[in-house]
Amino acid sequence: MKLVRFGPVGMERPGMIDEQGRLRDLSAVVGDIEGRTIGPEALDRLRALDVSGLPVIDDAVRLGVPVANVGKIVAIGLNYTDHAKEAGRPIPEEPVVFMKATTSLCGAYDDTIKPRQSIKLDWEVELGIVIGTLARSVSESQALSHVAGYCLVNDVSERHFQNERGGTWDKGKSFDTFCPVGPWLVTPDEIGDPQNLAMRLDVNGKRMQTGSTANMIFACATLIRYVSEVMTLMPGDILITGTPPGVGLGMKPPVFLHVGDVVTLGIDGLGEQRQTIVADTRGA
C-alpha cells in the first residue's frame, strides 16, 4: 500500500495510490496520514478499503511529506563502509546518531533552498523508516514489527556548517527544505526485505550515487533496536538510515550543488524525487 499526502503546503490531504497507479483521495475515510492512523489496525482498515469509488486526483497535484506531524527525525551517519571511507572517517563501531529539525521536512518534488551562507551544499540518498507503534528498548527480532512503512529521503547537507563550524552535525543538516521525504509511504508488505533495495542519485543527469541497502553496516532492525534504547520512538517518527558512497564531499576534487542544479534520486519500490536548487529569496 502506498500512502501519500497531497495539496499545497500546510493544506495537504490524505491519499492512496491504487493498483492502476492513480491517486485516490482518502479525505472521506481518514483525517490524515499521521502517527495515530498508521498503526497496524488502522493500516489494515485502509488496506481492506474498496477505493474504486473514491475521487481520483489529478497527477499534477503537489505531493507533500507522506506522514504528518512528525515528532522527530533521527538520522544515522556513516552507515555504509565506502561512504565512511570517502568521508575520511573510521568505520563506526556503533551507529552514529544525529537529528534533523522537523522544519527541514518538505515534499519529494519541492525546491531545495540554498542557504545564503552555503558554500558546500551536498546530497545523500537514504532509506527512511516511518515508525508505526511506540518503540522503547525493543529487541532486534521485534524491531521491524514497529515499522509502519518505508520512504525515500534526501538527507540534504551543508558540509561547511556540518564539519567546519564546530559542535554537532545537526546545524548542517537542518536548514529548511533539507529533508525531502516521499513521494510515498510504502507499507512493509510491498517492500519485503528492506535490506535488498537498490538506490541511486543523479545531479544534472549524471549518476553520482549507486548503492544498495544490502551494504548497510547496521541493518534497519539493528538501528531501531539501538535508537530505541536511547530514546522512545513514537508513531510518525522518521529514522533515516545513512547513504551509500558518491556524495559531493567525497569527490576528488569535491563537487557541491549550486543554484539551478537538479537532483533526482530513487530507491526501488519507493518512487523517485526531483529537486531544483534555488536561491533563498525569503525575507528575514
Q: Where are the domains of the chain?
A: 2-57, 73-279
Identify the CA nearest to 238 among candidates 152, 123, 170.
Answer: 152
**pLDDT above 90: residue 195:** yes
Angle at 89 between CA 263 and CA 120, to 5 degrees: 35
Percent of the chain beyond pLDDT 90? Answer: 92
Residues 6+ apart with CB under 8 A from 7: 13, 61, 62, 64
The stretch 116-130 carries a mean pLDDT of 97
Beta bridge partners of 13: 6
Q: What is the pLDDT of residue 59?
A: 85
CATH number, span 73-279: 3.90.850.10
Q: What is the pLDDT of residue 284?
A: 61
**Strand pairing report for 105-106 and 56-57:** unpaired
**Which one has a higher pLDDT value, 249 or 87?**
249
Identify the CA nearest to 243 among candidates 178, 183, 158, 154.
Answer: 154
- pLDDT band, very low/low/confident/very high, at 49 (cuts 50, 70, 90): very high
The stretch 18-27 carries a mean pLDDT of 96
**pLDDT above 90: residue 167:** no
**Which one has a higher pLDDT value, 232 or 86?**
232
Whole-number Å distance between alpha carbons of 225 and 229: 7
Q: What's the chain's average pLDDT?
A: 96
Q: Beta strands of 85-188 (E only): which ranges? A: 96-100, 105-106, 112-114, 121-122, 125-131, 147-154, 157-158, 179-180, 185-186
The secondary structure element, H or E, covering residue 220 is helix 220-230
Contact of 16 with 1, CB cutoff 8 Å: yes
Whole-number Å distance between alpha carbons of 260 and 45: 43
Q: What is the pLDDT of residue 85?
A: 82
Whole-number Å distance between alpha carbons of 220 and 109: 26
Beta bridge partners of 32: none
The stretch 258-266 carries a mean pLDDT of 98
Cell of 233: 520512538
Q: What is the pLDDT of residue 87?
A: 76
Identify the CA nearest to 74 among candidates 1, 19, 140, 131.
Answer: 131
Question: What are phi and psi for residue 211, nearest 5 degrees?
Answer: -160, -175
pTM listed for this prediction: 0.96
Beta bridge partners of 106: 180
Question: What are phi and psi for residue 163, nearest 5 degrees?
Answer: -115, -20
Cell of 204: 544534472
Whole-number Å distance between alpha carbons of 160 and 166: 10
Cell of 20: 492502476
User: Is the bond preceding 183 in cis, omega lying within 30 degrees of 0?
Assistant: yes
Q: Rounded to a whole number, what is the largest CA-CA distance in the chain?
A: 55
Q: Residue with C-alpha cell 537514504?
A: 126
Q: What is the pLDDT of residue 173?
A: 97
Whole-number Å distance between alpha carbons of 68 and 137: 25
Question: What are phi and psi for residue 82, nearest 5 degrees?
Answer: -65, -30
Q: For 61-114, what is each residue's pLDDT tens digit?
A: 999 999 999 999 999 999 998 888 887 778 889 999 999 999 999 999 999 999
